[in-house]
Structure 1
């Protein structure tokens, strides 16, 4: 568990955004403010939908970010750029009335393993929330 420091209050929360993909092309995107969501599905087709997370979903993600220590993550967690592999880059941003927190995380980041695990857990939680919200749309 990362050190907890939550200078960001949910009452000041405005939006959450995530972008990810190969470094040159962050084609997968979600912005809670606009509801715009696009991603490549398993057949490499670009899916664009309008998806709103509920206030409960956003509150859950805000608390999950606080629990994982997101506010203390370094802003730049980029990996080895000389590597032949193409790491997945994630840009996660939580926006509040007076401040925001933006983290750039590469899947090949070589920092503290606890920090890497915390990043991966937050990404997983965001992805699960988006999947759940998309499944609600289909019902």
Structure 2
């Protein structure tokens, strides 16, 4: 083979390895979770053992305590663009690669004085459950990811609710 042809084949092989490697790194980084395989999200928050604030994307049931401790109930579903936005942010910030329980080692998960968030992401082939206590102070990176996850989920639900209310 001519040296020029060998050089072109070597460059093509290196490009192939780089592209394939990049693809698999991106796939691993996103945990293989795609918006298309998303089935439902359950999001609950509050203190103590009864979390009265919740949203279930499968049924669209949303309930929360207002400023006067009145239970407000609404029903709306997430649109496809909400799910795509949610997953793009989760994958971009690698938010599902956190422990299932984010709490201090001696924490009471049902402490009436600590705000708790519970997430359940259901996909075609797997489910990811996360419990996050806001007083967690062990690893700031994990705490920041859990806080970011909560903010993104709340943002998506708030946007979907505003669309529902404005009708």
Shorter-chain TM-score tier: 0.7 to 0.9
Unmatched runs of 5 consecutive residues or more in structure 2: 1-27
Q: Which has the higher strand share?
A: 1
Unmatched runs of 5 consecutive residues or more in structure 1: none
1:74 to 73, 90, 99: 99
- Tell me, yes or no, if structure 1 residue 110 matches structure 2 residue 149: no
2:98–2:145 Cα contact (<8 Å) kept: no
Task: Pick which of 129-138 and 84-93 moved more.
Answer: 84-93
1:52 to 67, 77, 86: 77
**Based on CA coordinates, which of the two structures has the bigger radius of gyration?**
2
What TM-score do you get using the length of structure 1 for normalisation? 0.88
Report matched runs for 1:21-36 at 5 Å.
Answer: 21-36=46-61
- Tell me, yes or no, if structure 1 residue 121 matches structure 2 residue 148: yes
1:4–1:68 Cα contact (<8 Å) kept: no
Q: Which has the higher helix share?
A: 2
Distance 1:52 1:101 in 2: 20
Q: Secondary structure at the match of 2:135?
A: coil
1:12 corresponds to: 37
Distance 1:129 1:5 in 2: 19
In the TM superposition, structure 1's runs of 4+ consecutive aligned residues that sit over 3 Å from their partners are none
What TM-score do you get using the length of structure 2 for normalisation? 0.74
Residue correspondences, number: 136
1:92 corresponds to: 119
2:49–2:112 Cα contact (<8 Å) kept: no
Q: CA deviation digits over 1:40-87, x for unaligned, max 9?
A: 1112110111011111001111122222323311111123239x8711
Distance 1:10 1:110 in 2: 31
Higher relative contact order (CA 8 A, sep 6+): 1
